[in-house]
Amino acid sequence: MKVVIRDNSAKGSLWAAHYIARRINEKAAITDKPFVLGLCTGSTPIETYAELIRMVRDGEVSFKNVISFNMDEYVGLPESHPESYHSFMHRYLFDHIDEPAENIHILNGNAPDPVAECKAYEEAIVKAGGFDLFLGGVGEDGHIAFNEPFSSLQSRTRVVTLTQDTREVNSRFFDNDINQVPRQALTVGVATVLSSKEVVILAFGSKKARALKDAIEGPMSHYCTLSGLQNHPAGTIVCDELSVGELKVNSYRYFKAVEEAEGC
């Protein structure tokens, strides 16, 4: 696992956007096959998306041959609701880039048969060629996508029940009223994320410090599902100084030394 530590979230977000664009451009230079990208929601990726939008506008990258799959969606929230992940993605990314509409995939939280919806999603990912890169965030309890504590590290796309903690944290998007936060979601599994050739996780701010300590220094455990990244050959956590505040000094120094030696 690599841990790229930047001074603040603005610098970390730029690093992530440039990294993703570089990967898209590298693949486009050698093949016509689409770049298959996993995407996340939350406040964390917004600055990364803003920089990708700028890069598309300035001709530095194109999403014309990108196929994307989002991580998750609430169950039962209308797509048109401002806090649905459908609305979020269009507001912060898709409405401003050149990705063809038919290449955009987001789980349907209102599917009449959610189990069939999840199965079809996994099949569509395989049909697209599998993920080249998965961009994710992390919850305060270390969850990746909506893989709450006690999700199997072998899990695949499925219906999940959200924890009280997650619903409380996310109630800030729902008038601070936990009762408005859906109780369930559809989410890709930990194994779905880890099936990607490369995984890039964003984590900014002191609220993520415990999650990063558990994921980086703790044992691999279903209690902190981001810790599954320890078993991935190409996993990178892009973070800021605040979010690594609980790492051991020696861990921090080592990641900084790697950055210096390898020039990330």
Extract the tokens encoding 260.
């210096």
Q: Is 132 designated active site? A: no
143, 198, 214, 240: the catalytic one is: 143
Separation of alpha carbons 216 and 140, rounded Å? 14
Q: Residues in contact with ligand GLP, total (CB under 6 A)?
A: 13
Q: Is 72 a catalytic residue?
A: yes
* Of residues 19-48, those binding ligand GLP (CB under 6 A): 40-44
Instruction: Check if 143 is active-site.
Output: yes
Within 149-208, the residues that bind ligand GLP by CB under 6 A are: 166
Question: Interface with ligand GLP by CB under 6 A: which range of 125-133, 135-143, 214-222, 251-259?
Answer: 135-143
Query: At CA 86, angle to CA 83 and CA 88, rounded to 5?
Result: 50
Q: Which of 56, 66, 145, 160 binds ligand GLP (CB under 6 A)?
A: 145
Q: Is 58 annotated as catalytic?
A: no
Cβ 33 to ligand GLP, closest distance in Å?
A: 27
* Catalytic option among 47, 51, 72, 132: 72
Query: By CB under 6 A, is residue 49 in contact with ligand GLP?
Result: no
Tell which one of 109, 139, 189, 235 touches ligand GLP (CB under 6 A).
139
What does the alpha-carbon distance between residue 153 and residue 161 come to, in Å, rounded to a whole number? 16
Can you tell me which residue has the tokens 């990314």?
Answer: 93
Of the pair 79, 259, the CB lying nearest ligand GLP is at 79
Residues annotated as catalytic are: 72, 141, 143, 148
By the criterion CB under 6 A, which residues form the site for ligand GLP? 40-44, 71-72, 137-139, 145-146, 166
